[in-house]
Amino acid sequence: MTKYHLWFLLFCLLTEPRASRENYAPVMVTGILEESAILPAEIPSGHKLENINWASRTPVALVQPEGQSFKVITTHQNYRGRLNVPPNTYNLKISPLKMEDAGFYRADINLQNSATSTITITKNYTLHVYRRLAPPKITWNTVASENNICNITLMCFMEEGREAVKYQWTPLGEQAVESNGKSRLFIFQRPEDAPINYTCTAMNPVSNNSQSKLVQYLCAGALVTFDPRWYTLLSVLEMVIVIILTGMGFYLWHKKKQEPRASRENYAPVMVTGILEESAILPAEIPSGHKLENINWASRTPVALVQPEGQSFKVITTHQNYRGRLNVPPNTYNLKISPLKMEDAGFYRADINLQNSATSTITITKNYTLHVYRRLAPPKITWNTVASENNTCNITLTCFMEEGREAVKYQWTPLGEQAVESNGKSRLFIFQRPERCSHKLHLHSHEPCQQQFSIQTCSISLCRNANVFQVTLVYTGASPGISPVSWDIVLSTTQEKKRLKILIHLLPNFLGPLPMIL
């Protein structure tokens, strides 16, 4: 019967709806430079779309339903004017494509699961962007061998768009052999061989193109030699060209450095500290003279899109992990997270999109590292003891936190020759002798004579396995004229310790009523 219960429990765990799901295997998408690419998105039936947050190396866009169509809010200036959602779909279309659009993409699809909760479905994509290929170029060189055979090497290459290009030569045979990468063709010709037209075809995933070369005996004629003075002249020309190109490069770099940048980033993260179940504020500032378009906040997942709305801000949560926990404090651009969870700790990024003019934007990126800590409860202390031969008790006290151990430091007081901290300071090593008595137990009887009986033991009593256990018994009578009586008893065996118990129980017979203490 237990077996069937376990199977039923497993079935429930596998079939229950999850708050967040992700397809880790990315969908492969191919696009052509200056044309378009479509990143497909689907919504499970029976769910209402709240929004889709698209991101790549930078934020991309937030897509929101708006009647029968969609509102596309661009969240980084790199994609401004190039995004839309085709009719009757949830897909994102990028057009015209740039080479830098290639790479990893992520769609966080936020769905309303009920009136009070959402679920997030995450889909991953890899976008490849290729050029339509122009005809390849063919160059050659020749080497004549002693047996009158001409060794010809044809080299086929693309001047642009070399990404994922493959080459193929035709025709092939005993006299024409491709290299391993197939970009080169090795031809062996004799003077009597007929001319052959060789064709190189370049191919990539979106196009192909070809170029041909008519090859005949290219080694005919005398060996050409150069006057040494030509080598000197060529060397001088080469140096002049290098100097000119270096100067032009430095000029262009200096000019570009002085230009305002369309995108800026503070690579050194701002450190923010928060307390569990309380709040943390990620600070954001807007340079004077700019109008805010939006701020896209992201962490390991999307976080939120903040948009100006009159004198306040509209906060659009873009992942269910942060639902109901975000706001922008008055008169600031900061993001407040409350109440904090331990899993909120980590890296955060704010892409601040500003209107630079009527037609352009700039993006300022700020990075943050959020640390979340617990408020500490009193620490726990445990100890263990080892007795040495010289009658010294070696005591180790260990201080630790049961929860919230992150970044905790420890400190012991007082310290001295007999109390030394460990390197991590969570442990204290104490060395004590019997005469260092600091542990006293005072017991009072409730009899009319008001007798007082105390047992004074050394701190070494923590060494329960020690060879020596010293106890001082002190009896003080309450009546006038009775002097205190004391016994120093050194016990070296377990049997003698048992005798101490007997002695304590017998004391009332000699000194009057005493409390039961052992």
Q: Name residues of the chain where pLDDT drops below 70.
A: 1-23, 218, 220-235, 250-266, 434-518
The answer to whether residues 425 and 412 touch, using CB atoms and an 8 Å cutoff, is yes
**Chain centre to alpha carbon of residue 287:** 29
Tokens representing residue 156 in the block: 């086929």
Strand 427-432's sheet: what is its strand order? 380-387, 393-400, 427-432, 419-421
Give which of 309, 313, 350, 352 is closest to 332, Cα–Cα. 313
Between vectors from CA 306 to CA 304 and to CA 311, what angle results, nearest 5°? 150
User: Which residue has tokens 């929101």?
Assistant: 64
First to last CA, the chain: 54
pLDDT value for 438 = 42
Q: From residue 116, how far is each of 207, 305, 320, 344 by CA, in Å?
A: 50, 20, 11, 21
Cβ-based neighbour number of residue 156 at 10 Å: 25
Beta strands in 171-279 (DSSP E): 176-178, 184-189, 196-204, 207-215, 263-275
| 100 three-class SS | helix
Alpha helices, DSSP H only, in 23-176?
none
Type of residue at 217: Y
Report the residue count for the chain: 518
Q: What is the pLDDT of residues 4-49, one digit of tens each?
A: 444 444 444 444 444 556 667 899 999 999 999 999 999 888 888 9
| 322 three-class SS | helix
pLDDT value for 254 = 59
pLDDT value for 136 = 93
Cα Rg, the chain, nearest whole Å:
42
How many angstroms separate the CA atoms of 163 and 169, rounded? 19
Beta bridge partners of 142: 152
Tokens representing residue 283 in the block: 């600070």
How many angstroms separate the CA atoms of 311 and 296, rounded? 19
How many angstroms separate the CA atoms of 410 and 83, rounded? 55
User: Which residue has tokens 């002249």?
Assistant: 233
The answer to whether residues 462 and 395 touch, using CB atoms and an 8 Å cutoff, is yes
User: Which residue has tokens 């016990």?
Assistant: 491
Prediction pTM value: 0.64
Ramachandran category for residue 431: left, alpha or beta (phi over 0 → left; psi -120 to 50 → alpha): beta
